[in-house]
Amino acid sequence: MTAYDPDNIFAKILRGEFPCYKVYENDHVLAFLDIMPRAPGHTLVLPKAAARNILDISAEDFADVARGAHTIARAAKTAFDADGITVQQFSEAAGGQVVFHLHMHVIPRHDGVALLP
Ligand code: 5GP
């Protein structure tokens, strides 16, 4: 697998070199709004530690990211009065990944409303 690139955009956000709309943070994860949301409240949850994707992180450390996604999902349900939540994670280009710092998408959903393209 390709090595982690510390110049990826999410690494820059984590270092404070690039802005984001932060919605949650703890010792292990940062969560911020997606710049091209597929629905209102579309949030990305990522580990603070360098990890390219799910293939590049221990199960234990991934559990911290999953716990962060759980926190965001519960908060988004209330904040956006959502009927449901979509959680996605893409690993490697073949898996649909575009930014190569691990992240989970948490997307509030409403009945009958399709995701934006
Ligand atoms: P993925 O790697 O999961 O396929 O997609 C990367 C996601 O990151 C996309 O949903 C895209 O809109 C989002 N994204 C890319 N660049 C930025 C950025 O600079 N800031 C924020 N907040 N989101 C970004």
Mapping DSSP to helix (H, G, I), strand (E, B) and coil, where does residue 116 land?
Answer: coil
* Predicted confidence (pLDDT) per residue in 12-63, tens digit: 999 999 999 999 999 999 999 999 999 999 999 999 999 999 999 999 999 9
CATH class of this structure's domain 9-109: alpha beta
115 CB under 6 A from ligand 1? Answer: no
pLDDT > 90? residue 1: no
Is residue 94 in contact with ligand 1, taking CB distance under 6 Å?
A: no
The one-letter code for the residue type at 53 is: N
Task: Give me the residue spans of the domains in the chain.
Answer: 9-109
Contacts 24+ apart (CB under 8 A), 87-90: 89/53, 89/54, 90/53
Rounded CA gap, 83 and 74, in Å? 12
Give the integer Cα–Cα distance in Å for 73 and 43: 9
pTM above 0.90, yes or no: yes
The interface predicted TM-score of the complex, written ipTM, equals: 0.99
Closest ligand 1 atom to the C-alpha of 21?
22
In contact, 24 and 58? CB cutoff 8 Å:
no
Task: Work out the percent of the chain whose per-residue pLDDT is above 90.
Answer: 99
Q: Does residue 68 have a pLDDT over 90?
A: yes
